[in-house]
């Protein structure tokens, strides 16, 4: 069941007649899934792609070889490239990319601990990038990330 923030965001997108697409890593398709369960989401949701492994980011999203090795898969620059490159192939008013560390075993460091999430969103007239730090288990971290994305998109629909 979608959160109130996701429902509110979808309703605002429907009113504005804006479409949205997602390219996800850490969230594993949860963004697309949550948005798809809102009534009338077919009016706004174009779809999404889960690119979890480095090879998918490089092969499908054309992230330049060496970029992930230099910056890590869970980084602001990789998230930005995911959004920009996916948006070239998928026609939508908004394109959301999300990477991060919902569980141990990635590129976590003391300055980038588990719970760090990177979001890059392309809107019709601008692009915004955010870094978040959420606490909890993997499911809680992803739920907080989904709500944060919904809130960011909703705020932009109100401008």
Domain boundaries, the chain: 4-157
Q: Tokens representing 90?
A: 């998928």
Q: Which helix (H) or strand (E) holds 102?
A: none
> Which CATH code, of 3.40.640.10, 3.90.950.20, 3.40.228.10, 3.80.10.10, is assigned to 4-157?
3.90.950.20
Question: At 9, is the pLDDT very low, low, confident or very high (cuts 50, 70, 90)?
Answer: very high
* Pairs from 13-18 (Cβ < 8 Å, separation ≥ 24): 13/44, 13/94, 13/153, 13/157, 14/40, 14/43, 14/44, 15/157, 16/157, 17/43, 18/44, 18/93, 18/94, 18/124, 18/157
pLDDT in tens, 29-79: 999 999 999 999 999 999 999 999 999 999 999 999 999 999 999 999 999
Residues paired with 29 in a beta bridge: none
CB 5 within 8 A of CB 157: no
Half-sphere exposure of 121 (CA within 13 A, CB side): 23
Q: Characterize the bridge pairing of strands 94-100 and 127-133.
A: unpaired
Model pTM?
Answer: 0.96
């Amino acid at each position: 069941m979608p959160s109130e923030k996701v429902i509110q965001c979808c309703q605002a997108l429907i009113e504005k007649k804006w479409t949205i697409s997602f390219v996800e890593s850490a969230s594993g398709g949860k963004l697309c899934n949550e948005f798809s369960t809102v009534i009338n989401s077919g009016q706004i949701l174009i779809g999404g792609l889960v690119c979890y492994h480095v090879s998918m980011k490089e092969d499908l999203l054309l992230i330049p070889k060496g970029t992930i090795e230099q910056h890590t898969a869970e980084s602001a620059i990789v998230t930005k490239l995911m959004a920009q490159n996916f948006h070239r192939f998928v026609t939508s008013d908004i394109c959301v990319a999300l990477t991060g560390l919902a569980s141990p075993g990635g590129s976590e460091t003391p300055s980038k601990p588990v719970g760090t999430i990177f979001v890059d969103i392309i809107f019709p007239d601008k692009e915004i990038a955010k870094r978040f730090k959420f606490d909890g288990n993997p499911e809680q971290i992803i739920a907080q990330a989904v709500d944060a994305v919904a809130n960011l998109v909703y705020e932009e629909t109100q401008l």
